[in-house]
Amino acid sequence: MNRGCPDFQAACRLNRRSLLRVGSLGLAGLSLPNVLRAASGPSTPYRPATAKNVIFLHQFGGPSHIDTFDMKPDAPEGIRGEFSPIASAVPGVNVTEHLPRFAQVMDRVAQIRSVHHRMKNHNSASYYSLTGHAPPLDDIRLRDTLELFPSYGSVVAKLRPSDDPAVPSYVSYPHVMRDGSVTPGQHASFLGKSYDPFFIGQDPSEPGFRLPELDLPESTPLGRLDDRRGLLDLIDRQAQLLEYDATARGIDDFYGRALSMLASPRVKGAFDLSQEPDLIRDRYGRTTYGQSCLLARRLVETGVRFVTVYFSRSIGGNGSNGWDTHQDNFNDLKNRLLPITDVTVPTLIQDLDDRGLLDETLVVWMGEFGRGPKIGDRDGKGRNHWPSCYTVLFAGGGTTGGAVYGSSDRIGGYPSTDPVPLESIAATMYHALGIDPETEVSDRLNRPLAIASQRPITEIFS
Residue range 397-451, pLDDT digits in tens: 999 999 999 999 999 999 999 999 999 999 999 999 999 999 999 999 999 999 9
Q: Are 119 and 381 in contact (CB under 8 A)?
A: no
Please tell me the predicted confidence (pLDDT) of residue 31.
34
Q: Are 316 and 64 in contact (CB under 8 A)?
A: no
* Orientation of helix 228-237 relative to helix 251-262, angle to 10°: 110
Q: Are 235 and 242 in contact (CB under 8 A)?
A: yes
Which distant-in-sequence residues (6+ apart) come within 8 Å of 5 by Cβ?
none
Using CA atoms, how far apart are residues 41 and 160, in angstroms rounded to an integer?
9
> Looking at domain 40-210+281-460, which of 3.40.50.720, 3.30.450.20, 3.90.550.50, 3.40.720.10 is its CATH number?
3.40.720.10
Please tell me the predicted confidence (pLDDT) of residue 321.
85
Nearest to 425 by CA among 372, 385, 366: 366
Question: What stretch(es) of the chain map to CATH 3.40.720.10?
Answer: 40-210+281-460
Residues 342-379: pLDDT tens digits?
Answer: 999 999 999 999 999 999 999 999 999 999 999 998 88
Please tell me the predicted confidence (pLDDT) of residue 377.
86
DSSP H/E element including 126: helix 122-131
Please tell me the predicted confidence (pLDDT) of residue 428.
98
Contacts made by residues 381-385, CB under 8 angstroms, sequence distance 24+: 381/327, 381/328, 381/329, 381/330, 381/331, 382/325, 382/326, 382/327, 382/328, 382/329, 383/64, 383/66, 383/67, 383/325, 383/326, 383/329, 384/326, 385/62, 385/120, 385/121, 385/122, 385/125
Using CA atoms, how far apart are residues 193 and 401, in angstroms rounded to an integer?
37
Residue 293 sits at the vertex; the CA angle it makes with 434 and 262, to the nearest 5 degrees, is: 80
Please tell me the predicted confidence (pLDDT) of residue 236.
53
Q: Are 184 and 177 in contact (CB under 8 A)?
A: no
Please tell me the predicted confidence (pLDDT) of residue 278.
97
DSSP of 328-377: THHHHIIIIIHHHHHHHHHHHHHHHHHTT-TTTEEEEEEES-EE-SSS-S
Using CA atoms, how far apart are residues 222 and 46, in angstroms rounded to an integer?
41
Q: Are 364 and 55 in contact (CB under 8 A)?
A: yes
Identify the burial level of 240 via C-beta atoms within 10 angstroms of its C-beta, where 0-12 means exposed, 13-18 middle and 19 or more buried.
Answer: exposed
Low-confidence ranges of the chain (pLDDT < 50): 1-43, 225, 228-229, 231, 239, 242-251, 254
- Ranges of beta strands (E only) in 117-241 are 170-173, 178-179, 181-182, 198-199
Nearest to 291 by CA among 282, 300, 299: 282
Which distant-in-sequence residues (6+ apart) come within 8 Å of 62 by Cβ?
122, 125, 315, 323, 324, 367, 368, 369, 370, 371, 385, 386, 390
Which distant-in-sequence residues (6+ apart) come within 8 Å of 184 by Cβ?
123, 127, 130, 135, 142, 143, 144, 145, 148
Q: Are 331 and 337 in contact (CB under 8 A)?
A: no
Please tell me the predicted confidence (pLDDT) of residue 214.
59
Q: Are 88 and 94 in contact (CB under 8 A)?
A: yes
Using CA atoms, how far apart are residues 183 and 384, in angstroms rounded to an integer?
20
Please tell me the predicted confidence (pLDDT) of residue 220.
52
Please tell me the predicted confidence (pLDDT) of residue 365.
99
Residue 308 sits at the vertex; the CA angle it makes with 372 and 399, to the nearest 5 degrees, is: 75
Residue 52 sits at the vertex; the CA angle it makes with 46 and 55, to the nearest 5 degrees, is: 120
- Give the CB-side neighbour count of residue 18, counting CA atoms within 13 A: 20
Which distant-in-sequence residues (6+ apart) come within 8 Å of 190 by Cβ?
146, 147, 149, 150, 442, 443, 444
Using CA atoms, how far apart are residues 256 and 173, in angstroms rounded to an integer?
22
Please tell me the predicted confidence (pLDDT) of residue 1.
43
- Ranges of beta strands (E only) in 83-138 are 85-87, 94-96, 109-116
What amino acid occupies position 67? D
DSSP H/E element including 234: helix 228-237
The answer, yes or no, to whether the previous bond of 174 is cis (omega within 30 of 0) is: yes
Using CA atoms, how far apart are residues 307 and 309, in angstroms rounded to an integer?
7
